[in-house]
Amino acid sequence: VLGIDPGTAITGFGVVEQNEEPRLVDAGAILTKAGTPLPERLLAIHQQLSSVIDAFQPDAVAVEELFFSKNARTAMSVGHARGVVLLAAAQAGLPIFNYKPAEVKVAVTGYGNAAKPQVQEMVRLLLHLDEIPKPDDVADAIAVALCHLQSAYLRQLMAEE
């Protein structure tokens, strides 16, 4: 699964697979420069994310839902990046799953109001990593992928009943 934390400045991604336990396949950040016109930034996100999808052929894309902050401009900017992420996934014919930040926190830490450092430390522990992935957006994207894997597992269990 490809987990994504969208943003216009930094879009984090994490490719996680699950066999006996989850394993990080790859992770990184798509960076765009401040001051670059928005359409160019969105194009760069789309192109680089499409390359990640082509390279790793995920079964699904898990995206963090937009969290409305007090800053409307930031929310709009993240919304634009999220739209480009959804477009890249749809163009690849991949199923898209959306998760609220609280759902991701519960899946990874067991607590819906967990602080960002707690989520990041659990990502490190669950995947047996030496260090917390950086920047924060990468750790967040990996957490979204882990949330999807747990949700998919639970959906499978329920379907078997």
The answer to whether domain 2-160 has CATH 3.40.50.300 is no
Q: Is 17 annotated as catalytic?
A: no
Question: What DSSP letter does each residue of 83-150 carry, written as one string?
Answer: HHHHHHHHHTT--EEEE-HHHHHHHHHS-TT--HHHHHHHHHHHTT-SS--SSHHHHHHHHHHHHHHH
H or E stretch including 63? strand 61-64
What is the number of alpha carbons within 13 Å of residue 84 lying toward its C-beta? 25
- Active-site residue (options: 5, 26, 40, 130): 5
H or E stretch including 18? strand 10-18
Q: Is 64 annotated as catalytic?
A: yes
- Cα–Cα–Cα angle for 87, 8, 108, rounded to 5 degrees: 80
Q: Per residue in 82-108, pLDDT tens?
A: 999 999 999 999 999 999 999 999 999
Distance of CA 97 to the CA centre of its chain: 10
- Active-site residue (options: 17, 26, 103, 137): 137
Give the start-to-end residue ranges of the domains of the chain: 2-160
Per-residue confidence in pLDDT tens, the chain, 161 aa:
999 999 999 999 999 999 889 999 999 999 999 999 999 999 999 999 999 999 999 999 999 987 666 677 777 888 999 999 999 999 999 999 999 999 999 999 999 899 999 999 999 999 999 999 999 999 999 999 999 998 876 666 667 76
Peptide bond into 135 cis (omega under 30): yes
- Active-site residue (options: 64, 140, 160, 161): 64
Q: Is 5 annotated as catalytic?
A: yes
For residues 141 and 27, the answer to whether their CB atoms sit within 8 Å is yes
